[in-house]
Amino acid sequence: MVAANGQGKLATAASAPDIIDKQARTHGYDFAGPFGAAAVSIVAPSVAYLLYFGCNEHGCPPTRLSWSQYVDQVIPTWNELFSLEVLGYVVAYILGLAFLNVTIPVQEKLGVRLKTGERLSYRLTSLETFVPLIGALAFGTYNYGWEWSLWTWIWDHYLHLLTAAQIVSFALACFIYIASFRSSKPLLAAGGNSGNHIYDWFIGRELNPRIGRLDIKEFCELGPGMMGWAILNAAFAAHQYQTIGRITDSMILINIFQFWYVFDSFYNEPAVLTTMDIVSDGFGYMLTFGDLTWVPFTYSLQGRFLAMYPVDLGVLGVAGVLLVQGIGYYIFRSANNQKNAFRTNPDDPKLRHLKYIETKSGRRLLISGWWGLSRHTNYLGDWIMGWAWCLPTGFGTWVTYFYVGYFAVLLINRERRDDGHCRVKYGADWDRYTSIVKSRIIPGIY
């Protein structure tokens, strides 16, 4: 029997456990506890600025200037750092997308079953909002050319935009954290209720913060930041055109690859409902900052670099980079699709060739195909793709390779956290699984 409560919640009474502690205490810490959480909350926003100040018109890194020249010319004044007007635009952009999320007519999708027995319904609108948005930007560019004032404005206000995103990320995390103490006692994330304010604010205390029909976590995960990333990249291409009168092959590749990644995530939006972020992580600063600041501003570093330091790859260079991207994408997409197909319908005849083990939870774990090579071959594919995004910047700087370094750390940490969750979920069956599939990410190596 299914009952809807008008807030996008569906409860299946038959399967709801009898007694559930919606606000159970967290046992054990990730990220080395409150100290680690505090450190990441200070270091990560600083790195976002550092990448801007450490890679700009004065060099990447800015070795052309002495330290005193650097301080004189690069350290910004308050007005260069912050603009109330730009903050207003950023807030309007996010609220505009949120408004579209709750108003666009879409078929809602059910998320995984929560420990309360309910399944939340989600309005997945990223593709429906992205396509018209991109259409409007393409139309503007077609009419006004790459000199369109919107592109120039984005380039000129990059630092203001970054600061605005930082402020919104911080404020949103605080708002959601405070709201999680409301008297109606919402469902809390298993890992985000340690009782330590800094840790819980960072990891995320509430599992599914919502305002009416808007699921704030899912909306932020795939909405404003990912779209912002693609828009920033286009502004960087426009800047390159304005400076050298053409757009280089490397810039075209970066734009296509990353646009494709964004589009692919939107196209496969239902798959986000089974990711760790939606299923088990709360919505705290780690994700508000990650989604709204880190993704758009640091993932687009290569495009910003090429806008200032054009690189021509030539036919061989383009072919090499396409090959890396092709291999990475093939592994990433096939591995993700294989698991999604298996989780959606384990008895699908197309998956008959795959071997699996049965677990006491009733769920099966694949032990052949992509998921038999390593426990996260999809991460490996994603990381290989990351190389294809860095290589077009050439070998004149190491700064643009920041992404593959950071991403390796993120994926290793993510794999460890997922391993912890699965051990709790599957108990001894997980040990059995890991004794069969020994590699964590890179088959036979790690």
Where does this chain bind ligand NDP (CB under 6 A)?
Answer: 275-276, 332, 336, 339, 342-343, 363, 365-366, 371, 375-376, 378-379, 382, 414, 418, 421-422
Nearer to ligand NDP, 9 or 414 (CB): 414
- Give the helix/strand (H/E) hosting 176: helix 158-179
Q: Which does 157 bind (CB under 5 to 8 A by kind): ligand NDP, ligand LWLCTGZJ, none?
A: none
Contacting range for ligand LWLCTGZJ; rule: CB under 6 A; set: 169-177, 290-298, 345-353, 394-402:
290-298
Q: Which does 422 bind (CB under 5 to 8 A by kind): ligand NDP, ligand LWLCTGZJ, none?
A: ligand NDP
Q: What number of chain residues touch ligand LWLCTGZJ (CB under 6 A)?
A: 15
Q: Which does 291 bind (CB under 5 to 8 A by kind): ligand LWLCTGZJ, ligand NDP, none?
A: ligand LWLCTGZJ
Nearer to ligand LWLCTGZJ, 204 or 369 (CB): 204
User: 96 and 223 in contact (C-beta within 8 Å)?
Assistant: no
Q: Which does 343 bind (CB under 5 to 8 A by kind): ligand LWLCTGZJ, ligand NDP, none?
A: ligand NDP
* Identity at 397, one-letter amino acid code: T
Nearer to ligand NDP, 234 or 385 (CB): 385
Give, as one character, the DSSP assignment of residue 391. Answer: G
Q: Does 290 bind ligand LWLCTGZJ (CB under 6 A)?
A: yes
Tokens of 111: 């998320």
Tokens of 266: 């939107």
Q: Which does 366 bind (CB under 5 to 8 A by kind): ligand NDP, ligand LWLCTGZJ, none?
A: ligand NDP
* Identity at 139, one-letter amino acid code: F
**Per-residue x/- marks for ligand LWLCTGZJ, 21-60, CB under 6 A?**
-------------------x---x----------------
Which residue from 227, 209, 225 is spatially nearest to 217, judged by alpha carbons? 209
User: 81 and 163 in contact (C-beta within 8 Å)?
Assistant: yes
Nearer to ligand LWLCTGZJ, 123 or 239 (CB): 123
Q: Which does 388 bind (CB under 5 to 8 A by kind): ligand LWLCTGZJ, ligand NDP, none?
A: none
Q: How far is the CB of 412 from ligand NDP (least distance, A)?
A: 12
Q: Pick out residues in 382-441 that bind ligand LWLCTGZJ (CB under 6 A).
A: 410
Nearer to ligand LWLCTGZJ, 272 or 391 (CB): 272
Q: How far is the CB of 434 from ligand NDP (least distance, A)?
A: 10
Contacts of residue 410, defined as CB under 8 A and 6 or more positions apart, other chains included, come to: none
Burial letters for 79-117: b for 16+ Cβ neighbours within 10 Å, e otherwise?
eeebbeebbeebeebbeebbebbeeeeeeebbbeebebe
Nearer to ligand LWLCTGZJ, 309 or 371 (CB): 371
Tokens of 395: 């070998």
Contacts of residue 52, defined as CB under 8 A and 6 or more positions apart, other chains included, come to: 158, 159, 162, 297
DSSP E strands in 228-360: the ranges are 356-358
Q: How far is the CB of 218 from ligand NDP (least distance, A)?
A: 13
User: 236 and 109 in contact (C-beta within 8 Å)?
Assistant: no
Q: How far is the CB of 206 from ligand LWLCTGZJ (least distance, A)?
A: 17
Q: Which does 382 bind (CB under 5 to 8 A by kind): ligand NDP, ligand LWLCTGZJ, none?
A: ligand NDP
Contacts of residue 46, defined as CB under 8 A and 6 or more positions apart, other chains included, come to: none
Long-range contacts from 173-179, C-beta under 8 angstroms, 24+ separation: 173/201, 173/202, 173/284, 173/285, 173/288, 173/289, 174/201, 176/204, 176/205, 176/206, 176/209, 176/216, 176/283, 176/284, 176/288, 177/201, 177/205, 177/206, 177/284, 179/206, 179/209
Rg (CA), the chain: 23
Interface with ligand LWLCTGZJ (CB under 6 A), residue from 265, 274, 397, 439: 265
Q: Does 215 bind ligand LWLCTGZJ (CB under 6 A)?
A: no
Nearer to ligand LWLCTGZJ, 249 or 382 (CB): 382
Cα dihedral sign, 359-364-369-375: negative
Q: How far is the CB of 169 from ligand LWLCTGZJ (least distance, A)?
A: 10
Tokens of 200: 């819980």
Contacts of residue 181, defined as CB under 8 A and 6 or more positions apart, other chains included, come to: none
Binding interface with ligand LWLCTGZJ (CB under 6 A): 40, 44, 221-222, 265, 272, 275, 277, 286, 289-291, 294-295, 410
